[in-house]
């Protein structure tokens, strides 16, 4: 094969005149039309001077054209680097600079703010807006409808996805063609996707879940997607009777359950509901079954690994578990201190190995070595156990991470901003339960002696620098932070103290 990912995902559909994307406005785009648009964009990329292995950083709203840009990068042998639309210019500058992106594609509204960074790096800049307008598609519309696919091997990189770390800046997880392909092929079989599937797609396409899991699986199966710009309950309810399957983060399911229009009848045509990216409460799983008769299939993945485990399609989908390791994934539970394997039933670090596991972090050999063992096992940082029936349970995290509505937030990044503010001695950022997002961010600040930091001003600084979903829901002043005998801040005590902050009145400190 010339370019395994392109050939398997896209080229096989080149002449199909059946719909690939059903849009909210009632129109649809066939596979053939989609691939013609892909080829036109690939011409633009190549005429821009991009060469195989160059990075293309993309921060655009979800649209069919944005998805075609992903396909075009695969076809032109480029590394696709999707970025959360909530990222601020500060955050984007780091990703663009760190990856050495040769091309940045952004919304027209952000062009001016990004120009200084692309000029500094001599990167090219194109625009793509939510409605498909902008310089990229204007240029693409002049191009031929087919493109000579650039040769790649399964070991070549297909995407960089940035993931934050407990210390320092974000790391670019390097994903190869075979990482993406092997996982998607496994999932199509495991979840019984076929050309008859119509996936209700309301996730963003800048993360693994919406891009690789949802889209690649649909493409390999030869199915189609109802492609909604974002989670909008009215649209979800309108289109569900036409769909067969849906993938979502737990917030999708709690919001659906909060809507009286979501009934057993509405979900009658559905074959499968899949949840992941954050823990699905057992209570949500049970309520969902009561309401619809469907048992949500929960699975567990990571940016660095794609999907690792899944509840079974046939057989018992157990609430509160993430099911079994996927067929080609090895999973073991290890001692966090020694790395030694622990027996079933005992809690420890979850480590995984398989064709799904990434190649390492871009230009960060020490970080790669710290998390990816020489024998190929990746240390996930999640704490879990395997029960007597082989089901994997995630019981906590060995990493300081908050997951809000499926987005990862590393407290350190927020603490660094808080600590810089006038009058702040130190800070601790924690995740606390939230009825809609699962967890939300709480910032705790210890003032310098005799000072009274202005919390409103501090919040404004945070808002300027960090994406909206990372903003603390609230900032509180504390006299001191609880520490252990080694001087380490005991966040578990803080989490316990404030656990009811957004569900009921907080306990006093």
State the residues that interact with ligand MCA by CB under 6 A: 203-204, 207-210, 230-231, 249, 251, 276-277, 301-303, 404-407, 437, 468-469
Q: What is the largest CA-CA distance in the chain?
A: 72
User: What does 163 bind: ligand AMP, ligand MCA, none (CB cut-off 5 to 8 Å by kind)?
Assistant: ligand AMP
For the bound state, the minimum distance from the C-beta of residue 179 to ligand AMP, rounded and expressed in Å, comes to 13
Give me the long-range contacts of 187-192 (CB less than 8 A, separation at least 24): 187/213, 187/217, 187/307, 187/310, 187/326, 188/217, 188/220, 188/221, 190/310, 190/313, 190/326, 190/327, 191/217, 191/245, 191/272, 191/274, 191/297, 191/310, 191/313, 192/271, 192/272, 192/313
For the bound state, the minimum distance from the C-beta of residue 495 to ligand MCA, rounded and expressed in Å, comes to 18
For the bound state, the minimum distance from the C-beta of residue 47 to ligand AMP, rounded and expressed in Å, comes to 34
Q: Which stretch binds ligand AMP (CB under 6 A): 274-282, 411-419, 466-474, 476-484?
A: 274-282
Residue nearest to ligand AMP (CB): 303
Q: What is the C-alpha to C-alpha distance for residues 273 and 267, in angstroms, rounded to an integer?
A: 10
User: How far are the Cα atoms of 298, 402, 432, 434 from residue 438, in angstroms, in the given order?
Assistant: 15, 10, 8, 5
User: What does 279 bind: ligand AMP, ligand MCA, none (CB cut-off 5 to 8 Å by kind)?
Assistant: ligand AMP
The correct pick among 382, 413, 415, 439 for binding ligand AMP (CB under 6 A) is 382
Residue closer to ligand AMP by CB (options 37, 408) is: 408
User: How far are the Cα atoms of 76, 120, 184, 261, 302 from residue 335, in angstroms, in the given order?
Assistant: 44, 46, 30, 47, 20
The correct pick among 277, 310, 311, 321 for binding ligand AMP (CB under 6 A) is 277
DSSP letter, residue 471: S
Q: What is the C-alpha to C-alpha distance for residues 207 and 217, in angstroms, rounded to an integer?
A: 14
User: What does 204 bind: ligand AMP, ligand MCA, none (CB cut-off 5 to 8 Å by kind)?
Assistant: ligand MCA
Please provide the distance, in angstroms rounded to a whole number, between the alpha carbons at the two ends of the chain. 63
Selection from 50, 81, 43 nearest residue 174 by Cα: 81
x/- mask, ligand AMP, residues 120-159, rule CB under 6 A, reads ----------------------------------------
DSSP letter, residue 334: E
Question: Is there binding between residue 249 and ligand AMP (CB under 6 A)?
Answer: no
List beta partners, residue 124. 103
Question: Is there binding between residue 163 and ligand AMP (CB under 6 A)?
Answer: yes
Question: Is there binding between residue 322 and ligand AMP (CB under 6 A)?
Answer: yes
Site for ligand AMP in 390-449 (CB under 6 A): 394, 397, 403, 408
For the bound state, the minimum distance from the C-beta of residue 359 to ligand MCA, rounded and expressed in Å, comes to 16
Q: What is the C-alpha to C-alpha distance for residues 435 and 419, in angstroms, rounded to an integer?
A: 29
For the bound state, the minimum distance from the C-beta of residue 158 to ligand MCA, rounded and expressed in Å, comes to 15
Question: Is there binding between residue 278 and ligand AMP (CB under 6 A)?
Answer: yes
């Amino acid at each position: 094969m010339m370019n395994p990912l392109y050939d398997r995902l896209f080229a096989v559909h080149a002449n199909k005149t059946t719909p690939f994307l059903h849009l909210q406005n009632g129109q649809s785009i066939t596979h053939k039309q989609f691939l013609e648009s892909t080829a036109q964009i690939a011409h633009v990329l190549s005429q821009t001077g991009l060469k195989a292995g160059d990075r293309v950083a993309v921060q655009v709203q979800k649209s069919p054209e944005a998805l075609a840009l992903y396909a075009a990068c695969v076809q032109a042998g480029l590394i696709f680097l999707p970025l959360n639309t909530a990222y601020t210019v500060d955050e984007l500058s780091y990703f663009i600079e760190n990856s050495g992106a040769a091309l940045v594609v952004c919304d027209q509204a952000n062009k001016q703010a990004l120009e200084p960074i692309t000029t500094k790096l001599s990167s090219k800049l194109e625009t793509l807006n939510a409605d498909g307008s902008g310089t990229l598609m204007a240029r693409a519309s002049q191009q031929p409808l087919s493109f000579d696919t650039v040769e790649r091997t399964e070991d070549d990189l297909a995407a960089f996805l940035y993931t934050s770390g407990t210390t320092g800046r974000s790391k670019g997880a390097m994903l190869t063609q075979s990482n993406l392909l092997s996982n998607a092929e496994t999932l199509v079989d495991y979840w019984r996707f076929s050309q008859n599937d119509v996936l209700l797609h309301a996730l963003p396409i800048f993360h693994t879940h919406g891009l690789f899991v949802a889209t690649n699986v649909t493409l390999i199966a030869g199915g189609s997607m109802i492609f909604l710009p974002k989670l909008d309950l009215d649209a979800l309810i309108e289109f569900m009777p036409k769909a067969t399957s849906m993938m979502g983060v737990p917030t999708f399911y709690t919001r659906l359950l909060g809507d009286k229009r979501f009934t057993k009848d509405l979900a009658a045509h559905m074959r499968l509901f899949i949840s992941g990216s954050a823990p699905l409460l057992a209570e949500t799983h049970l309520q969902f079954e009561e309401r619809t008769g469907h048992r949500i299939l929960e699975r567990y993945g990571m940016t660095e690994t794609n999907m690792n485990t899944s509840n079974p399609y046939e057989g018992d989908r157990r609430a509160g578990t993430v099911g079994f390791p996927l067929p080609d994934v090895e999973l073991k539970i290890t001692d966090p201190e020694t790395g030694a394997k622990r027996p079933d039933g005992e809690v420890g670090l979850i480590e995984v190995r398989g064709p799904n596991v990434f190649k390492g972090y871009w230009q960060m050999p020490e970080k790669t070595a710290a998390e990816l063992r020489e024998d190929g096992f990746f240390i996930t940082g999640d704490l879990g156990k395997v029960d007597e029936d082989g089901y994997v349970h995630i019981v906590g995290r060995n990493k300081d991470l908050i997951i809000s509505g499926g987005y990862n937030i590393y407290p350190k990044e927020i603490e660094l901003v808080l600590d810089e503010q006038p009058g702040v001695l130190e800070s601790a950022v924690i995740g606390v339960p939230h009825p809609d997002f699962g967890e939300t961010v709480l910032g705790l600040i210890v003032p310098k002696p005799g000072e009274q930091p202005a919390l409103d001003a501090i919040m404004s600084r945070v808002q300027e620098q960090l994406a909206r979903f990372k903003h603390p829901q609230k900032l509180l002043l504390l006299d001191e932070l609880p520490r252990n005998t080694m001087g380490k801040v005991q966040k578990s005590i803080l989490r316990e103290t404030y656990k009811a902050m957004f569900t009921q009145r907080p306990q006093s400190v």
